[in-house]
Homo-oligomer: A and B are copies of this chain.
Amino acid sequence: MPGALDTYVRNQEARLLEELKEFLRIPSISTLPEHKGDVERAAHFVAESLRAAGLEHIEVIPTERHPLIYADWLHAPGKPTVLCYGHYDVQPADPLELWQTPPFEPSIRDGNIYARGASDDKGQMYTHIKAVEALRAVHGTLPVNVKFLIEGEEEIGGASISQYVENNPEKLKADVALVSDTSLYQEGIPTLCVGLRGLVYLEVEATGPARDLHSGLYGGAAPNAVYGLIELLAKAKDSEGRIRIPGIYTNVAEPAPAEIESWKKLPFNDREFLEKEVGSTRLTGEPERTVLERIWSRPTFEVHGIAGGFTGTGAKTVIPAKATAKVSFRLVPEQTVDGVVSSFKKWVADQTPAGIRTEVRMLSGAPAVMVNPDHPAIQVAAKAFEEVMGRPTVFTRNGGSIPIVGDFARHLRIPTILMGFGLPDDGLHSPNEKYRVENFYIGIKTVARFLESYGQVRQ
C-alpha cells in the first residue's frame, strides 16, 4: 500500500508543485491592512483545496481580523481523530531589495522553491491537505478521522484561533494534533520536535526631558531618553550574554539528562552554524551552555527594535524626549508568563537611570510547551517518518513559539505532533525564504504514512 501512495505522489509531483506555487503567489501578509483582501483570497484558496481533497463541512469562519477555516472527514468510526493545523498567512517581505526574485513570484532554483511563506507555513500546511487528497485517491477512503483548523493570524499573534479553540472543545475533539511548522534537524534527518519555547513580547518606552532639547544648550546636564533606554537595556545581559535580570533563571527547568545526551549525538558544528546560518563573526550567549541548549532550553532576552530621536539623513542635534524599544523573552519549561513579566517590570523600575521615566507594555505572552515523546501518536509518527526517509527519527526542541500547541494542550487536552519538513536555513521571516521541493513531497508521503499507521493503532 505505501508503495501505491508513493507512486501516486511521484506521478503527481508537477501538478502538486504548480498548485503550491499558486498558493504562494497570494501575498497574504496578515499584519498589513492593505493586504486584507489577499489574506481573504488565501483563505478561500485553502477552503477550495480542502474541498478538492474530499474534506466535508467546510467553513470559512470570520473573525475580528482574518478568517479561520474548518473542515472534517469523520467516516472512520472506531478510529482515532487527527486535528491538522496550519496557517496561511505570512510575514511581511521587506526589505524587498534583498530578494533575488520577487517574494510572491515563486521561483525554483537548485531544488528549492523561493517565496515568502514557502516554508512558513504554506508549503508545510499544504502537505496535510495533499496527504489526505493522496490517501483518498489511492484508497478511496481515509484510515482515520481528520479535522482541519487553519488560521490566518499566526504571524500576528493568533488571537482568533486561540479564542476559537477555547470556545469549541467539543467540535475540535481529537486524539492528537498534527502541526507542520518546524524543520528537519538537518537535510535528510527525520525530526520530531517535542519542546517549544514560549514568548513574552513587550514594549519599553523611556521619557527624558519634557520636549526634545537642543544638545548645545542642554547637553551635559539634561537626561536623554535614547541614552537612558540604552543604559537600561545594556544592563539586561552581561558581556557574554547571560541575562542579569533577577528572577529570570529562577524557574528554568534543566532538560532531562537523557535529552541532553541525545542532543550531544546530533550532528552540530558551531562554526558551520555561525558561518552558514548566522553569518556573523562570533556566536554569543551563555558560554557554559552548548549552542543547542542556548537556543532550545535556555531563556533569552532580545531587543527586536529601537527607535528614538532623529534618525533621518544628515544631522540634527536634539536631546530626544522619547525612545521606545521592542523586547522579548523566550520562555522555557517551568517559567511562567506572569513571573517573567513581573521580574522584568521590577527590574526596569529598579534600573531606570536617574532623570528618565519608563513604562512597560506587554503585547503578548505564552509559556513553553513540552510533548511527551513516549505518547503512542508520537511513536507512530516517528516510525512513519523513519520509513519514508530511511533514517531514525530524532527528537529535538525548537527555540521558537507555536502558541496553538499550548492552546491544544490547555483546552483540548491533546498532545501535538510537531512534524516539520522545513530546513534550518530556510530563512523564515527573512528575504529569500525557501522550501526544499523534495521535502514538500516527503512531507505529503510522511503525513499520509502517519495517518495510515495511526489508523492501525488499537484505541
Which residues of A are interface residues toward B (Cβ below 8 A)?
31, 91-92, 98, 156-157, 197, 199, 201, 208-224, 226-227, 230-231, 233-235, 237, 239, 241, 273, 277-286, 291, 294-295, 298, 300, 302-312, 314-320, 323-324, 326, 328, 330, 353-357, 363-364, 398-401, 424, 427-431
Q: How many copies does the complex hold?
A: 2
B311 touches A306 (CB 8 A): yes
Specify which chain B residues have a CB less than 8 angstroms from the CB of A319 in the assembled complex. 302, 304
Please measure, in the bound complex, the distance between the C-alpha atom of A194 and the C-alpha atom of B227, giving whole angstroms. 30
Q: A98-B211, A224-B284 are in contact. List 13 more A-B contacts (CB 8 A).
A: A31-B314, A157-B315, A201-B317, A215-B328, A217-B398, A220-B285, A220-B399, A221-B278, A231-B234, A309-B326, A315-B363, A316-B326, A317-B400
Given A307-B306, A307-B311, A364-B315, CB of A298 within 8 Å of CB of B399: no
| Minimum C-beta distance from A448 to chain B (A) | 28
B216 touches A330 (CB 8 A): yes
A231 touches B223 (CB 8 A): no
B221 touches A156 (CB 8 A): no
Specify which chain B residues have a CB less than 8 angstroms from the CB of A239 in the assembled complex. 231, 353-354
Given A211-B431, A398-B216, CB of A223 within 8 Å of CB of B330: no
Specify which chain B residues have a CB less than 8 angstroms from the CB of A326 in the assembled complex. 309-311, 315-316
B429 touches A318 (CB 8 A): yes
Selected contact of A355 from candidates B222, B283, B364, B431, CB within 8 Å: B283
| Minimum C-beta distance from A218 to chain B (A) | 6
B315 touches A222 (CB 8 A): no
Please measure, in the bound complex, the distance between the C-alpha atom of A309 and the C-alpha atom of B217, giving whole angstroms. 31
| Minimum C-beta distance from A110 to chain B (A) | 18
**Chain B residue nearest in CB terms to A355:** B282
B311 touches A305 (CB 8 A): yes
A216 touches B401 (CB 8 A): yes
A314 touches B156 (CB 8 A): yes
B233 touches A302 (CB 8 A): no
| Minimum C-beta distance from A250 to chain B (A) | 18
A400 touches B216 (CB 8 A): yes
A218 touches B303 (CB 8 A): no
A309 touches B318 (CB 8 A): no
| Minimum C-beta distance from A320 to chain B (A) | 7
Please measure, in the bound complex, the distance between the C-alpha atom of A195 and the C-alpha atom of B371, giving whole angstroms. 70
**Chain B residue nearest in CB terms to A234:** B234
A-B contact list, 24 entries, CB within 8 Å: A31-B316, A91-B316, A157-B315, A201-B317, A210-B278, A212-B429, A216-B398, A217-B428, A218-B278, A219-B300, A221-B278, A221-B283, A221-B294, A222-B278, A223-B282, A227-B233, A230-B306, A280-B355, A304-B310, A305-B320, A306-B306, A310-B326, A311-B326, A318-B429
Specify which chain B residues have a CB less than 8 angstroms from the CB of A213 in the assembled complex. 277-278, 429-430
Selected contact of A294 from candidates B220, B303, B305, B307, CB within 8 Å: B220
Specify which chain B residues have a CB less than 8 angstroms from the CB of A209 in the assembled complex. 278-280
B211 touches A427 (CB 8 A): yes
Please measure, in the bound complex, the distance between the C-alpha atom of A317 and the C-alpha atom of B302, giving whole angstroms. 9
Specify which chain B residues have a CB less than 8 angstroms from the CB of A282 in the assembled complex. 223, 354-355
Selected contact of A214 from candidates B157, B224, B279, B428, CB within 8 Å: B428
| Minimum C-beta distance from A431 to chain B (A) | 6
In the A-B complex, the 9 residue pairs with the smallest Cβ-Cβ separation, listed nearest first, are A210-B279, A216-B400, A305-B309, A234-B234, A220-B294, A307-B311, A282-B355, A305-B310, A219-B300
| Minimum C-beta distance from A328 to chain B (A) | 6
Please measure, in the bound complex, the distance between the C-alpha atom of A285 and the C-alpha atom of B317, giving whole angstroms. 18
Specify which chain B residues have a CB less than 8 angstroms from the CB of A233 in the assembled complex. 227, 230, 234
A224 touches B316 (CB 8 A): no
Given A277-B218, A430-B211, CB of A309 within 8 Å of CB of B304: yes
Given A224-B302, A308-B305, CB of A317 within 8 Å of CB of B218: no
**Chain B residue nearest in CB terms to A31:** B314
**Chain B residue nearest in CB terms to A32:** B312
Specify which chain B residues have a CB less than 8 angstroms from the CB of A211 in the assembled complex. 98, 279, 427, 430-431
| Minimum C-beta distance from A435 to chain B (A) | 15
Selected contact of A317 from candidates B199, B222, B224, B424, CB within 8 Å: B199
Selected contact of A304 from candidates B294, B298, B316, B355, CB within 8 Å: B316
